[in-house]
Structures are given as structure tokens and as C-alpha cells.
């Protein structure tokens, strides 16, 4: 199984400041035949199901504000919120779909400082 490890578990950031979340996979999720990283980012707000933010590690889902960005390749990935807004308070999860079982990171809780 591919283990997804997120860091930190939580972070508190001032409004307008940058938030950075890391996700590391126990093996590469880069598929060589198509050069795509099988890595997803979701956002989950309290009382709601998760919402898709990024696919293929860095492709922003329609409607996601451009203050969010996804980067990385192979085993190391980053979700960045360039200027934190109040509505970004949530738990963020990464997920790999390179192989079964599909696995998620443990989540990173983002709060306002």
C-alpha cells in the first residue's frame, strides 16, 4: 500500500499570509508512460463532504480560487494558499490513485491565527 503522509497536522496562519501543506507518498505516484502524477488535493469544511481542489497534482479544479496552487512530483507534493482568507479554514487532504488501495493523507487542519 502507498502511505500518504501530510505535514503539518495543523497550522495557524494570519489572514493574508501564506499557508503551505506538504504531502509525501511512500513510493512515487508519477506514472512514467504519461508523465502524470496520480495525486489529488481535497478541501473539507466542517459538516461538509470533501471538495476536489486539484487533480494530477497541479491542475486546479474549475471554480477554485487562484490563490490555491498545487505542485510537486514523484513523492513530494505541496498545496499552497498564497493569501489565506477566512473561508479557507478547513482540513486539507491529499490522495493517491496510482494504485489500489486508494489512500489518503491524514489531513492538515488550517486555522486563522
Partner 1 sequence: EVQLVESGGGLVKPGGSLRLSCAASGFSFSNAWMSWVRQVPGKGLEWVGRIKSKTDGGTTDYVAPVKGRFTLSRDDSKNTLYLQMNSLKTEDTAVYYCTTSRRDILTGNYEWYFDYWGQGTLVTVSS
* Residues whose CB is less than 8 angstroms from the CB of residue 91 and which lie 6 or more positions away in sequence, other chains included: 43, 44, 107, 108, 109, 110
Can residue 100 be called a binding residue for partner 1 (CB under 8 A)? yes
**Candidates 12-20, 22-30, 42-50, 78-86; binding stretch for partner 1 (CB under 8 A):** 42-50
Can residue 64 be called a binding residue for partner 1 (CB under 8 A)? no
8 A C-beta contact, residue 105 and residue 94: yes
Can residue 63 be called a binding residue for partner 1 (CB under 8 A)? no
CA distances to 31, 62, 70 from 22, rounded to whole Å, are 20, 22, 10
Cell of residue 56, nine digits: 494530477
CB closer to partner 1 out of 11 and 102 = 102
Binding site for partner 1 (CB under 8 A): 40, 42, 44, 49-52, 55, 61, 93, 95, 97, 100-107
Amino acid at each position: 500500500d502507498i502511505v500518504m503522509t501530510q505535514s503539518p497536522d495543523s497550522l495557524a496562519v494570519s489572514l493574508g499570509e501564506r499557508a503551505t501543506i506538504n504531502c509525501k507518498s511512500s513510493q512515487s505516484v508519477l506514472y512514467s508512460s504519461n508523465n502524470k502524477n496520480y495525486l489529488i488535493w481535497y478541501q473539507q469544511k466542517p459538516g461538509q463532504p470533501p471538495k476536489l481542489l486539484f487533480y494530477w497534482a497541479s491542475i486546479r479544479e474549475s471554480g477554485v480560487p487562484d490563490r490555491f496552487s498545487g505542485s510537486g512530483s514523484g513523492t513530494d507534493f505541496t498545496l499552497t494558499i498564497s493569501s489565506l482568507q477566512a473561508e479557507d479554514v478547513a482540513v486539507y487532504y491529499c490522495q493517491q490513485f496510482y494504485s489500489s488501495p486508494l489512500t489518503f493523507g491524514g489531513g492538515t487542519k488550517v486555522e486563522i491565527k
